[in-house]
């Protein structure tokens, strides 16, 4: 079923709301697990290098899934079915963590989850862009990112609440051991319970997109060819991707920030309290993300999109420096987790909007997929390098690397000329 033109002209229509609700629930699921994953990694005896490897490999595989899914959706003329499948993979993947006794099973769960994210991401963004008129994309994407990050608030908050409940009621963890005898007494029992509970918001996100989103289907384009489509990307878009890719080599996984806070605060307050504080700090980051996303998106049409994005990249560089030269104080981490929330809201929102400034609807899925590949390769390299530097020569060196490379990406993005805004074709 298609949306009519009057609904498309309203930026807050059924699809925009439904995509926001779906992402809220899915990110609730994802961030509930992410808030405690670094602590769980440490509990089972894995290192920062292992965490960096897990995040990097997952991001890299996800990025290639984005390209394949985006191109396939452009060719077949519809995207919703594969998007639902992607959300389903994400929903069930976190439960794998609950049964891990070593990091390779965490890698498996992360890969499955990120494969789902890779499939759904470009298709969802392309459908979202098609659901509104071109001048309204900033508001629509800003609303979507705000809803997504509201889920990222609820997830860590739920994790914090469960950790608090379990600390006061250790018999709940004992019951978990009764249900799963092979894991009785295994380290990280509280975290394992959280991983299992992520299934609830995850499955609700699948139901939301399945029953609420109405897709604007197009005629299949069976003549579309992969390499020809890749080559047809505008030159300006390729230059934009170059700057995104350079900055991406610095944009490591946020779990490394959580681990940094945990390891710095642990000598002062102990592991459990440091874990709870780190979850709260991550919650602060996500609250900031939620509050910043809509105004950042809504104001993006007033400036050169590339220079506007460079401002967000610059905030990221300051953030990386803050994690490189830390002080063992909660207030220090509050400041830099807030900055982390601002820069990721800026990056995610404006990069998503900018794609349709360069390409038209017929190849939007592929274009979003290419953006995903570029970001995924950068995420793989940055998370792996920061993790390896942390383990081999010290955490500060890893975050300093990110600051230097991120600064280079910021400078390059600042010098990219303004892109022409491609108007969405009206439907008859």
Minimum mean pLDDT range among 23-37, 83-97, 212-226, 402-416: 212-226
Fold of 5-214+226-414: Growth Hormone; Chain: A; (1.20.1250)
**Minimal CA–CA distance to 248: which of 386, 394, 111, 418?**
386
| 364, pLDDT greater than 50 | yes
Give the CA distances from residue 11 to residues 97, 135, 258, 292, 419, in Å, rounded to whole numbers and listed in that order: 39, 9, 35, 18, 22
| 320, pLDDT greater than 90 | yes
Residue of higher predicted confidence among 75 and 197: 197
Rounded average pLDDT over 274-282: 83
| 219, pLDDT greater than 90 | no
| Percent of the chain's residues with pLDDT above 70 | 91
- Residue partners of 304: CB distance under 8 A and separation at least 6: 417, 418
| 144, pLDDT greater than 60 | yes
What was the pLDDT predicted at 336?
Answer: 95
Rounded average pLDDT over 302-306: 78
Rounded average pLDDT over 33-50: 80
d(CA 212, CA 23): 13
Report pTM: 0.68
What would the pLDDT profile of 20-41 be if each residue is shown by its tens digit?
Answer: 999 999 989 888 888 788 778 8
Structure tokens at 332: 């220090």
What was the pLDDT predicted at 1?
Answer: 45
Residue of higher predicted confidence among 409 and 297: 409
d(CA 158, CA 136): 33
What would the pLDDT profile of 292-302 be if each residue is shown by its tens digit?
Answer: 888 888 887 77
Structure tokens at 174: 């004992």
What was the pLDDT predicted at 6?
Answer: 47
| 222, pLDDT greater than 80 | no
Q: Kindly state the greatest CA–CA separation across the chain.
A: 65
3-state secondary structure the chain: CCCCHHHHHCCCCHHHHHHHHHHHHHHHHHHHHHCCHHHHHHHCCCCHHHHHHHHHHHHHHHHHHHHHHHHHHHHHCCCHHHHHHHHHHHHHHHHHHHHCCCHHHHHHHHHHHHHHHHHHHHHHHHHHHHCCCHHHHHHHHHHHHHHHHHHHHHHHHHHHHHHHHHHHCCHHHHHHHHHCHHHCCCCCHHHHHHHHHCHHHHHHHHHHHHHHCCCCCCCCCCCCCHHHHHHCCCHHHHHHHHHHHHHHCCCCCCHHHHHHHHHHHHHHHCHHHHHHHHHHHHHHHHHHHHHHHHHHHHCHHHCCHHHHHHHHHHHHHHHHHHHHCCCCCHHHHHHHHHHHHHHHHHHHHHHHHHHHHHCCHHHHHHHHHHHHHHHHHHHHHHHHHHHHHHHHCCHHHHHHHHHHHHHHHHHHHHCCCCCCCCCCCCCC
Rounded average pLDDT over 3-26: 77
Rounded average pLDDT over 203-214: 92
What would the pLDDT profile of 157-194 be if each residue is shown by its tens digit?
Answer: 888 888 888 878 877 777 776 777 766 667 777 888 88
What was the pLDDT predicted at 425?
Answer: 41
Give the CA distances from residue 142 to residues 124, 310, 371, in Å, rounded to whole numbers and listed in that order: 14, 17, 18
Backbone dihedral angles phi then psi of residue 185, each to the nearest 5 degrees? 80, -5
Q: How confident is the model at residue 357 (pLDDT cuts 50, 70, 90)?
A: confident
What was the pLDDT predicted at 162?
Answer: 86
What would the pLDDT profile of 373-406 be if each residue is shown by its tens digit?
Answer: 888 788 778 888 998 899 899 889 999 999 999 9
Q: How confident is the model at residue 427 (pLDDT cuts 50, 70, 90)?
A: very low
| 254, pLDDT greater than 50 | yes
What was the pLDDT predicted at 278?
Answer: 85
Rounded average pLDDT over 303-314: 88
| Percent of the chain's residues with pLDDT above 90 | 22
Domain ranges of the chain: 5-214+226-414
Rounded average pLDDT over 326-330: 87
Q: How confident is the model at residue 410 (pLDDT cuts 50, 70, 90)?
A: very high
| 115, pLDDT greater than 80 | yes
| 311, pLDDT greater than 90 | yes
Question: Rounded to 5 degrees, what angle do the CA atoms 367, 84, 155 make?
Answer: 95
Average pLDDT over the chain, rounded to an integer: 82
Rounded average pLDDT over 309-328: 93
């Amino acid at each position: 079923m298609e949306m009519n033109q009057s609904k498309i002209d309203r930026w807050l229509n059924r699809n925009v709301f439904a995509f926001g609700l779906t992402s809220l629930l899915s990110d609730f699921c994802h961030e509930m697990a992410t808030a405690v994953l670094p602590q769980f990694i440490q509990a089972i005896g894995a290192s920062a290098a292992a965490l960096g490897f897990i995040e990097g490999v997952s991001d890299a595989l996800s990025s290639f899934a984005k390209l394949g899914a985006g191109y396939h959706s452009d060719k077949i003329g519809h995207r919703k079915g594969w998007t639902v499948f992607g959300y389903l993979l994400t929903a069930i993947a976190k439960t794998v963590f609950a049964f891990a006794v070593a990091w390779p099973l965490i890698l498996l769960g992360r890969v499955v989850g990120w494969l789902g994210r890779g499939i759904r991401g470009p298709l969802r963004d392309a459908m979202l862009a098609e659901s509104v008129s071109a001048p309204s994309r900033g508001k629509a994407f800003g609303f979507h990112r705000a809803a997504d990050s509201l889920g990222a608030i609820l997830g860590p908050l739920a994790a914090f609440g469960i950790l608090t409940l379990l600390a006061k009621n250790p018999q709940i963890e004992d019951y978990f051991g009764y249900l799963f005898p092979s894991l009785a007494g295994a380290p990280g029992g509280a975290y394992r319970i959280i991983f299992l509970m992520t299934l609830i918001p995850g499955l609700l996100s699948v139901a939301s997109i399945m029953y609420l989103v109405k897709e604007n289907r197009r005629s299949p384009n069976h003549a579309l060819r992969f390499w020809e489509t890749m080559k047809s990307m505008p030159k300006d878009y390729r230059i934009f991707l170059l700057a995104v890719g350079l900055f991406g080599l610095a944009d490591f996984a946020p779990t490394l920030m959580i681990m940094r806070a945990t390891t710095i605060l642990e000598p002062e307050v102990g592991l459990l309290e440091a874990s709870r504080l780190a979850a709260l700090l991550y919650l602060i980051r996500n609250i900031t993300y939620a509050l910043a996303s809509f105004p950042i998106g809504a104001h993006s049409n007033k400036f050169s999109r590339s220079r506007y994005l460079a401002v967000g990249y610059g905030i990221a560089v300051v953030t990386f420096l803050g994690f490189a030269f830390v002080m063992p104080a909660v207030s220090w981490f509050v400041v830099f987790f807030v900055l982390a929330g601002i820069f990721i809201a800026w990056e995610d929102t404006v990069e998503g909007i900018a794609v349709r400034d360069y390409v038209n609807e017929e190849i939007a899925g592929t274009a979003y997929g290419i953006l995903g590949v570029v970001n995924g390769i950068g995420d793989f390299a940055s998370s792996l390098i920061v993790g390896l530097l942390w383990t081999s020569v010290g955490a500060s060196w890893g975050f300093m690397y990110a600051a230097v490379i991120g600064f280079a990406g910021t400078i390059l993005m600042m010098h990219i000329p303004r892109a022409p805004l491609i108007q969405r074709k009206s439907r008859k």
